[in-house]
């Protein structure tokens, strides 16, 4: 007995829970039959929630004119329905796009099993619901038991009415909540009588057909049973969750082998029921042998349909290939840890199975650790085997050509027997009859080998007849005196059969080999060309060209731009190989990474199939294909080929993408390097002469300021002006270089935990020469937290603000620097009591080359504030200006506080170190 | 005290700058020798035994850092670096190589003279040795290095062991820019060289206790992005 939880199972549960948290929750109001009050119950539940101020909306509700329900609907907000034109009639349908945009907390959607009007995004309403859930919207919906896929045939048998609208059991099983709405058959019939379910005329009709008491009881039982199963499963899950009692069972896994016959569907449904009752996972596989590849398209479509049904019923499906079905099945079963294998009952007689055992017999013989369940087949019809179109087209033969060849075969059979007859007549006198028959045999053999079974058999009949007629005495008559020639006849017939079979097999294998070779050749060709493609447009061109040829279809490939939006089609639309794509669908495919359009679950009415071009990292684009004949892309091997191509194109696009990324990075690096060297060169070349000018004017100024100066007053004032202007020019050069550095790329911040007062101090010191005539007050709280910033950059900001403050205020003005904690930010303000800012230009002044006063005599180019803004924004802060009352300008910038580093036991560390160092000192 | 004329060597390749430096230093009564290249400069420093070297980083023949390291291999003469490059990493590199101070171009002659005087003072202090009994003074502050006592005016100031250590390292390097890394290593130990916020906080404490206005310090100066300097 296993006593601890199976880790795989636990992991699976955790993953499921995770996925569930992000998804919306689905609650199903489940009933045995129409009219039990599911919609009513759903609306009542929704109303309670709506009263709690939760955003509820009615997506779609069919009241069927029921008064109770309509009353209940009042007061709930309705989502407008979409009107769709279908066969000349306007039909209203649930508008999934509106719902996704509106994004309510909860949406009500009646009739989960409903089929949407053709032309909607999804063929089924439950697929709409899936998309809503995936978008995180909770959904309430209703469902009748007869719509459940696995019960569909059972209900059909009981009631004689089979509904076309079915819901995969998986959806029901994975619903977060199921509420059973139950009503006794008597009550239901009474309600029907009262006209509460259908309007009276319909009610009478319904009562005769569907609403018979027996039906109602059966349906009710099924609904109850199904709900009970769910409750039971929940109970078990709960126990597993809470580990109340270790009842871990080995997990059953069932494998069903799907064949080609009609009975496959029953087989699948039976397995689904078996799996449900055993709470087991199940797999459906189809093993394709060379013989099965010869099936007609219709038969293969039927298999595909069965596989899709299995998928809808919750199975994992796989198509395997091999020559011996039983071996492949058993290998697969073993690899997937399957405990039960379900197969159909063999249909052939015991004797034929003795010579060529059926799959079931082989399985029974070889299976070691797997139980074999044999399901009885019902109606059995012989299938006609015809060579498959795809193979034939691959071989280059059309139906007509094939029949022409056959016709020629019969003529040749006639010719062969005539030639044999003439020859043997000529040779009759030289050879024995028993030797002459060899000539006929040769003819039969050649015909069989060349033209197959039909002409071969025809030739053998002709040959025996001719031999009998011309050669066997009595000659020129059919009377067989000697019955021993009967043996000749049988032998010839068998030889013809054996040889024609051998040849046809041989030819078939040649065709398959040919097909495989062609396939690998086209793959190789495309791969080779894609490998040499250097740009994505080149890849698109190559792929379009190749695929159009291989699939006889129109192709389009759309690529996304840098914002994950697919680009408009650039290609020449007149080109017959290019399909026009629907931007909406292709964007959907790109966003959801799922296929859509023709033959899929999403927008199947489109004439094109849209495939996402998936690459390892992400989807790289969308491939649209518009086939001339559907079979070109929907036969499994063609589809497989198409998928392989899509993957290859995706890979090629990704490769090119990374090449581009690498090149961009290289270019960036190079231009960064160039920019830096240019900047430092300019910086050097500007600073060097400026240093001389500043230095020399400084010396002159010192001399002019001295008491025993040689200069006259005029010269002194000129020297002072020279010095002042040089000093301003120095500021300007610094600002210009800073701006160039900041503008040229990312501001490289050296963010460290700093004390604001330190930076304020250094800024004031730096600006001291300009600030001599102003009074500066600083007010920074002692307990201000450390802030993470680049000290040099913030110093720049403060210097510029101080520079502005003294530039635009008269002498002796007061400049206040204040810092306060404001929520999660620290606000630093530089305020003056000058004239203030020009009105309404509080924002504009941060633009480059914008100055407070136009054409003013004040120096500067208006770079200071925009540099400040760039720096503060790089620090995730904000900078703005205000006008003070009564007058004065106020500049504030904010810096986020973040989480300063902890300084645990700083004093202890210091104490420890000081103890240590004092010891060292002693030594 | 004998009259000693301080000797300065200026290593600078730009003629105009060299001229103005020489002019302003000679005006201030200093003996100036100049060199245009690094090699020439090294010879001058070796033969003239200067009191301070003014070195431009952008020399045609050698890396400025290389010149500093060569001088440092045999001399402790103060070196003031002139540079047109503003980035802090460059400053730190130069200071770590052994320079005592740096000036960013363009600079004023007054600024250069002030820096040179600070270095000369430091040098004379070092040569005078412990003549003032381990007492160090700046502004109102008196630091008794042997008795580990600090006073502001007449008032004793209590410093924690860490604060005192920080102060002594700065005193030992008066006038010099000490890089953050160096301070962290000397005060806290080699494993704390990345914890620069420790330094900032303790520097803040020191200023609160010793400076008249902590936001506008007169002695404990910050060299933004580089380190600290004690000015007296």
Compute CA distances A525 → A518, A522, A621, A625, A646, whole Å: 10, 5, 21, 20, 14
Q: How far apart are CA A151 and CA A227, in angstroms?
A: 13
Interface of A with B in 749-788 (CB under 8 A): 750, 752-755, 757-762, 764-765, 776, 778, 780, 782, 786
Q: What is the mean pLDDT of chain A?
A: 78
Supply A350's token pair: 């015991």
Interface of B with A in 161-180 (CB under 8 A): 161-162, 165
Q: How far apart are CA A686 and CA A361, in angstroms?
A: 95
Q: How far apart are CA A764 and CA A817, in angstroms?
A: 10
CB contact under 8 A, B201 and A786: yes
The reported pLDDT for the residue numbered A842 is 67
Interface of B with A in 59-118 (CB under 8 A): 84-86, 88, 105-110, 112
Q: Which of A15-24, A190-199, A373-382, A651-660 has the highest mean pLDDT?
A: A651-660
CB contact under 8 A, B108 and A690: no
Taking CB atoms and an 8 Å cutoff, what residues of chain B touch A907? 160, 162
Q: Which of A750, A776, A906 sits opposite B198 (nearest CB)?
A: A906
Average the pLDDT over B165-189 and give the result: 88
- pLDDT > 50? residue A917: no
CB contact under 8 A, B188 and A755: no
E strands, A291-403, in order:
316-321, 340-344, 371-375
- pLDDT > 50? residue A735: yes
pLDDT, tens digit, for every residue of A516-553?
Answer: 787 788 888 888 888 888 888 888 888 888 888 778 78
pLDDT, tens digit, for every residue of A846-889?
Answer: 766 565 555 455 555 567 788 888 888 888 889 888 888 778 88
pLDDT, tens digit, for every residue of A470-509?
Answer: 887 777 777 666 666 777 778 877 887 887 778 777 877 7
Domains B7-127 and B130-230 share a fold: no
CA atoms within 13 A on the CB side of A382: 4
Interface of A with B in 639-698 (CB under 8 A): 680, 683-684, 687-696, 698
- pLDDT > 50? residue A90: yes
Domain ranges of chain B: 7-127, 130-230
- Of the listed ranges A186-190, A578-582, B220-224, the least confidently predicted one is A578-582
pLDDT band at B1 (very low <50, low <70, confident <90, very high): very low
Interface of B with A in 132-161 (CB under 8 A): 160-161
The reported pLDDT for the residue numbered B69 is 92
pLDDT band at A236 (very low <50, low <70, confident <90, very high): low
- Of the listed ranges A269-273, A743-747, B134-138, the least confidently predicted one is A743-747
The reported pLDDT for the residue numbered A241 is 59
Average the pLDDT over A108-114 and give the result: 88
Among residues A473, A349, A364, A455, the alpha carbon closest in space to that of A409 is found at A455
- In the sheet where B227-230 sits, what is the strand order? B177-179, B227-230, B220-223
For CA atoms A532, A534, A536, A542, give the dihedral sign: negative
- 3-state SS, residue A350: helix
Among residues A149, A190, A140, the alpha carbon closest in space to that of A30 is found at A140
Supply A633's token pair: 């892309």
CB contact under 8 A, B201 and A910: no
pLDDT, tens digit, for every residue of B50-90?
Answer: 999 999 988 888 888 899 999 999 888 999 999 877 778 88
pLDDT, tens digit, for every residue of A642-665?
Answer: 888 888 899 898 888 888 888 888
- pLDDT > 60? residue A41: yes
- pLDDT > 70? residue A906: no
pLDDT band at B8 (very low <50, low <70, confident <90, very high): very high
Phi, psi (5° rounding) for residue B54?
A: -105, 120
Average the pLDDT over A231-240 and give the result: 70
Q: For residues A519 and A635, is the Cβ–Cβ distance under 8 A?
A: no
The reported pLDDT for the residue numbered A894 is 92
The reported pLDDT for the residue numbered A119 is 76
Check if A913 contacts B (Cβ < 8 Å): yes
The reported pLDDT for the residue numbered B52 is 92
Average the pLDDT over B23-40 and give the result: 90
Interface of B with A in 8-37 (CB under 8 A): 14, 16-17, 19-21, 23-24, 27
- pLDDT > 80? residue A159: no
The angle subtended at Cα A138 by Cα A132 and Cα A143, nearest 5°, is 85
CB contact under 8 A, B20 and A695: yes
Check if A904 contacts B (Cβ < 8 Å): no
CB contact under 8 A, B108 and A688: no
Among residues A806, A822, A825, the alpha carbon closest in space to that of A814 is found at A806
Q: How far apart are CA A763 and CA A797, in angstroms?
A: 9
The reported pLDDT for the residue numbered A5 is 57
Domains in chain A, ordered, with CATH?
Answer: 7-242 (3.40.50.300), 253-375 (3.40.50.620), 396-500 (no CATH), 748-896 (3.30.565.10)
**Residue B72, min C-alpha distance to chain A (Å):** 27
Average the pLDDT over A42-47 and give the result: 88
Among residues A875, A766, A819, A789, the alpha carbon closest in space to that of B196 is found at A789
Percent of chain A whose predicted confidence (pLDDT) is above 70: 81
Q: Which of A331-340, B155-164, B189-198 has the highest mean pLDDT?
A: B155-164
Out of 3.20.20.70, 1.10.760.10, 1.10.10.10, 2.40.50.180, the CATH code matching B130-230 is 1.10.10.10
DSSP A29-74: EEESSTTSSHHHHHHHHHHHHHHTT--EEEEE---TT-HHHHHHHT
Average the pLDDT over A672-682 and give the result: 78
The reported pLDDT for the residue numbered A94 is 87
- pLDDT > 70? residue B111: yes
Q: Which of A699, A734, A795 sits opposite B224 (nearest CB)?
A: A795
Taking CB atoms and an 8 Å cutoff, what residues of chain A touch B196? 752-753
Q: Which of A194-203, A448-457, B71-80, B104-113 has the highest mean pLDDT?
A: B71-80
Residue in A677, A682, A686, A688 to test binding to B, most B beta-carbons within 10 Å? A688
Q: Which fold has domain B7-127?
A: Rossmann fold (3.40.50)
Instruction: List, in order, residues 6 or more apart from B167 with CB less than 8 Å away.
Output: B143, B150, B159, B206
Q: For residues A645 and A625, is the Cβ–Cβ distance under 8 A?
A: no
pLDDT band at B130 (very low <50, low <70, confident <90, very high): very low
Taking CB atoms and an 8 Å cutoff, what residues of chain B touch A730? 106
pLDDT band at A247 (very low <50, low <70, confident <90, very high): very low
pLDDT, tens digit, for every residue of A829-847?
Answer: 999 888 877 776 666 677 6
Which has the higher per-residue pLDDT, A181 or A635? A181
Phi, psi (5° rounding) for residue A602?
A: -110, 125
- pLDDT > 60? residue A248: no
For CA atoms A559, A563, A564, A567, give the dihedral sign: negative
Are β-strands A619-627 and A553-558 bridged in parallel, bridged antiparallel, or unpaired? antiparallel
- pLDDT > 50? residue A65: yes
């Amino acid at each position: 007995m296993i006593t601890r939880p199976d880790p795989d199972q636990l992991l699976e549960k955790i993953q499921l829970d995770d996925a569930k948290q992000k998804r919306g929750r689905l609650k199903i109001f489940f009933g045995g039959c129409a009219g039990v009050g599911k919609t009513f119950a759903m609306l009542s539940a929704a109303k309670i929630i709506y009263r709690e101020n939760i955003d509820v909306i009615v997506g779609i509700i069919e009241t069927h004119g029921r008064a109770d329900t309509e009353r209940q609907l009042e007061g709930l907000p309705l989502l407008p329905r979409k009107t769709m034109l279908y066969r000349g009639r306007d039909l209203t349908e649930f508008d999934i796009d509106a719902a996704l945009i509106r994004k309510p907390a909860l949406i009500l959607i009646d009739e989960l099993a409903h089929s949407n009007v053709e032309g909607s995004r999804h063929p089924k309403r439950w697929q709409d619901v899936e998309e809503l859930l995936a978008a995180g919207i909770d959904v309430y919906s209703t469902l009748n038991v007869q719509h459940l896929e696995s019960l569909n045939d059972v209900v059909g048998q009981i009631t004689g009415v089979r509904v076309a609208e079915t819901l995969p059991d998986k959806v029901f099983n994975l619903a977060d909540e199921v509420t059973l709405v139950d009503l006794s058959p008597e009550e239901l019939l009474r309600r029907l009588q009262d006209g509460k379910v259908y309007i009276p005329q319909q009610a009478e009709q319904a009562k005769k057909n569907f609403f018979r008491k027996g039906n109602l009881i059966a349906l009710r039982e099924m609904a109850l049973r199904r709900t009970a199963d769910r409750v039971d499963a929940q109970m078990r899950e709960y126990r597993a969750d809470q580990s109340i009692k270790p009842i871990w069972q080995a997990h059953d896994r069932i494998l069903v082998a799907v064949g080609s016959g009609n009975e496959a569907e029953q087989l699948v449904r039976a397995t689904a029921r078996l799996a449900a009752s055993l709470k087991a996972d199940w797999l459906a596989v189809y093993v394709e042998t060379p013989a099965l590849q010869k099936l007609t398209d219709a038969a293969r479509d039927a298999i595909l349909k069965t596989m899709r049904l299995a998928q809808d019923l919750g199975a994992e499906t796989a198509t395997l290939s091999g020559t011996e079905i039983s071996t492949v099945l058993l290998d697969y079963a073993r690899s997937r840890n399957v405990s039960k294998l379900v197969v159909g009952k063999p249909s052939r007689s015991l004797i034929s199975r003795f010579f060529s055992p059926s799959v079931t017999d082989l399985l029974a013989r070889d299976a070691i650790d797997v139980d074999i369940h044999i399901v009885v087949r019902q109606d059995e019809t012989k299938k006609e085997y015809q060579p498959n179109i795809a193979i034939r087209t691959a071989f280059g033969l059309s139906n007509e050509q094939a029949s022409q060849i056959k016709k020629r075969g019969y003529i040749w059979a006639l010719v062969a027997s005539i030639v044999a007859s003439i020859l043997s007549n000529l040779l009759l006198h030289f050879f024995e009859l028993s030797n002459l028959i060899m000539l006929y045999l040769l003819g039969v053999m050649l015909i069989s080998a060349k033209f197959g079974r039909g002409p071969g058999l025809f030739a053998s009949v002709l040959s025996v007849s001719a031999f009998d007629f011309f050669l066997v005495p009595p000659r020129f008559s059919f009377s067989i005196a000697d019955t021993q020639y009967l043996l000749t006849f049988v032998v010839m017939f068998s030889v013809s059969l054996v040889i024609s079979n051998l040849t046809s097999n041989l030819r078939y294998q040649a065709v398959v080999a040919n097909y495989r070779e062609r396939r690998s050749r086209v793959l190789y060709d495309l791969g080779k060309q894609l490998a040499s493609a250097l740009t994505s447009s080149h890849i698109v061109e190559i792929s379009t060209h190749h695929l159009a040829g291989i699939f006889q279809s129109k192709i389009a490939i759309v690529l996304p731009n840098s914002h994950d939006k697919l680009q408009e089609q650039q290609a020449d639309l007149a080109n017959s190989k290019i399909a026009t794509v629907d931007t909406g669908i292709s964007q959907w495919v790109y966003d959801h990474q799922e296929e859509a359009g023709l033959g899929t679950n999403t927008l199947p009415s489109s004439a094109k199939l849209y495939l996402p071009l998936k690459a390892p990292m992400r989807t790289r684009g969308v491939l649209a294909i518009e086939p001339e004949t559907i079979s070109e892309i929907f036969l499994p091997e063609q589809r497989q080929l198409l998928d392989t191509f899509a993957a290859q194109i995706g890979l090629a696009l990704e490769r090119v993408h990374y090449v581009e990324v690498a090149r961009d990075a290289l270019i960036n690096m190079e231009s960064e390097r160039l920019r830096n060297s240019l900047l430092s060169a300019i910086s050097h070349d500007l600073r060097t002469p400026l240093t001389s000018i500043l230095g020399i004017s400084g010396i002159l100024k010192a001399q002019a300021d001295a008491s025993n100066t040689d200069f006259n007053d005029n010269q002194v004032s000129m020297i002072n002006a020279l010095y002042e202007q040089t000093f301003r020019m120095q500021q300007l050069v610094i600002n210009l270089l800073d701006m160039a550095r900041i503008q040229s790329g990312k501001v490289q911040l050296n963010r460290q935990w700093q004390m604001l007062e330190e930076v304020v101090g250094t800024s004031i010191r730096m600006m001291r020469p300009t600030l001599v005539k102003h009074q500066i007050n600083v007010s920074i709280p002692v307990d201000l937290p450390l802030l993470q910033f680049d000290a040099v950059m913030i110093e720049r900001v403060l210097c510029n603000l101080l520079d502005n403050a003294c530039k635009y205020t008269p002498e002796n003005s007061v400049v206040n620097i204040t810092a306060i904690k404001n929520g999660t930010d620290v606000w630093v303000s530089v305020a003056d009591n000058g004239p203030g800012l020009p009105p309404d230009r509080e924002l504009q002044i941060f633009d480059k080359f914008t100055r407070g006063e136009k054409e003013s005599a004040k120096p500067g180019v208006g770079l200071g504030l925009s540099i400040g803004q760039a720096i503060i924004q790089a620090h995730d802060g904000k900078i703005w200006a205000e006008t003070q009352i009564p007058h004065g300008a106020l500049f504030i910038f904010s810096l986020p506080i973040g989480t300063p580093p902890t300084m645990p036991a700083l004093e202890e560390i210091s104490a420890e170190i000081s103890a240590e160092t004092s010891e060292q000192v002693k030594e | 005290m004998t009259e000693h004329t301080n000797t300065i060597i200026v290593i600078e390749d730009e003629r105009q700058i060299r001229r103005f430096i020489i002019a302003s230093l000679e005006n201030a009564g200093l003996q100036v020798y100049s060199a245009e290249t690094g090699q020439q400069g090294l010879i001058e420093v070796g033969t003239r035994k200067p009191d301070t070297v003014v070195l431009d980083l952008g020399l045609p023949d050698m890396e400025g850092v290389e010149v500093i390291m060569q001088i440092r291999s045999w001399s402790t003469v103060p070196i003031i670096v002139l540079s047109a490059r503003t980035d802090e990493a460059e400053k730190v590199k130069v200071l770590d190589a052994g320079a005592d101070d740096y000036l960013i171009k363009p600079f004023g002659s007054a600024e250069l003279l002030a820096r040179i005087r600070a270095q000369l003072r430091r040098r004379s202090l070092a040569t005078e040795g412990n003549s003032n009994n381990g007492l160090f003074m700046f502004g109102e502050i008196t630091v008794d290095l042997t008795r580990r006592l600090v006073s502001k005016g007449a008032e004793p100031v209590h410093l924690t062991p860490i604060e005192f250590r920080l102060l002594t390292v700065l005193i030992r390097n008066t006038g010099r820019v000490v890089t953050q890394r160096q301070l962290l290593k000397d005060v806290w130990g080699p494993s704390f060289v990345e914890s620069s916020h420790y330094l900032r906080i303790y520097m803040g404490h020191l200023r609160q206790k010793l400076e008249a206005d902590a936001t506008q310090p007169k002695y404990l100066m910050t060299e933004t992005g580089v380190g600290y300097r004690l000015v007296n």
